[in-house]
């Protein structure tokens, strides 16, 4: 098992900070940081959390730091349907509903889909049922030929965007399961660089007899104190042109969204 010093050093290196950089940011002495990392000083729980905050350590990993230092975990991990998270779950549901008639979905740190709005449903109708068995993974759903990949005109662009996002995610907080998913679906291949000609990279989907052009935004909780909330993200898709907007708005009139 890694010691608290080992873990803090790993996170400091991951953030590309020197001991002095971290000490200045956390308003402690560089000597104290050095003593903690070498195991010559035992930090308090408050100090562990202070250093973790300045290292931008995810809540899940902060619990691991606390355990390594001999303290109880600080952050709970409740399912999103837990009564304690009802306000947060309601907020996610409201965001998804309010985004209709355009698609939106919520997913966790491993890209497993937690919730979707009704505008997502038409795109799932012809997906292989095997891919829709819980947990439904957004990366697999989007990149597997049995899923949505066959609908995406600019699949190389979309794969490159996913690759960049997951690579940044793994750099920020390594995860063996996500790394395995990256190796399976996102290892670089020929012709996978995004075109990069537009203001932003769009996803072009051939569906319903036309090409739909979409871009997306990501929403996260600003001040989570629960591991589940710390790892939830909502991705909302917007039409990139009037024709795409008209198609989605037609879903409401047809009763499909």
Sheet of 104-107: strand order equals: 113-116, 104-107, 233-239, 210-220, 203-207
Contact criterion met (CB below 8 Å) for 65 and 43: no
Q: What angle do CA 120, 169, 228 make, to 5 degrees?
A: 65
User: Terminal CA-to-CA distance of the chain, rounded, Å?
Assistant: 51
Residue pLDDT tens, the chain, 257 long: 799 999 999 999 999 999 999 999 999 999 999 999 999 999 999 999 999 999 999 999 999 999 999 999 999 999 999 999 999 999 999 999 999 999 999 999 999 999 999 999 999 998 999 999 999 999 999 999 999 999 999 999 999 999 999 999 999 999 999 999 999 999 876 555 555 555 678 999 999 889 999 999 999 999 999 999 999 999 999 999 999 999 999 976 655 55
pLDDT of residue 126: 85
Contact criterion met (CB below 8 Å) for 118 and 254: no
What's the chain's length in residues? 257
Q: Which stretches does DSSP call E strand in 104-160?
A: 104-107, 113-116
Neighbour tally for 5: CB within 10 Å: 21
pTM for the full predicted model: 0.89
Domains identified in the chain and CATH numbers: 4-69 (1.10.260.40), 83-254 (3.30.450.180)
pLDDT of residue 192: 58
Q: What is the 3-state secondary structure (H, E, C) of 204-242?
A: EEEECCEEEEEEEEEEECCCCCEHHHHHCEEEEEEECCH
């Amino acid at each position: 098992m890694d010691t608290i010093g080992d873990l803090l050093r790993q996170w400091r290196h991951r953030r590309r900070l020197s001991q002095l950089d971290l000490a200045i940011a956390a308003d402690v002495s560089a000597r104290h940081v050095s003593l903690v990392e070498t195991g010559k000083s035992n930090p308090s729980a408050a100090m562990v959390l202070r250093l973790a905050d300045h290292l931008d350590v995810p809540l899940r990993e902060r619990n691991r730091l606390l355990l390594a230092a001999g303290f109880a975990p600080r952050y709970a991990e409740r399912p999103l349907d837990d009564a304690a998270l009802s306000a947060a779950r309601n907020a996610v549901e409201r965001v998804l509903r309010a985004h209709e008639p355009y698609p939106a979905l919520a997913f966790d740190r491993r890209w497993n889909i937690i919730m979707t709005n009704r505008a997502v449903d038409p795109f799932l109708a012809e997906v292989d049922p095997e891919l829709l068995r819980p947990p439904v993974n957004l990366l697999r759903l989007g990149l597997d030929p049995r899923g949505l990949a066959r609908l995406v005109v600019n699949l190389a662009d979309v794969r490159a965007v996913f690759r960049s996002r997951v690579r940044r995610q793994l750099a920020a907080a390594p995860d063996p399961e996500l790394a395995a998913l990256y190796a399976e679906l996102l290892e670089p291949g020929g012709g996978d660089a995004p075109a990069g000609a537009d203001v932003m990279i769009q996803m072009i989907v051939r569906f319903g007899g036309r090409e739909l052009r979409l871009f997306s935004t990501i929403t996260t909780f600003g001040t989570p104190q629960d591991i589940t909330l710390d790892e939830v993200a909502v991705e909302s898709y917007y039409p990139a042109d009037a024709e795409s907007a008209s198609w989605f708005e037609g879903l409401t009139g047809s009763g499909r969204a």
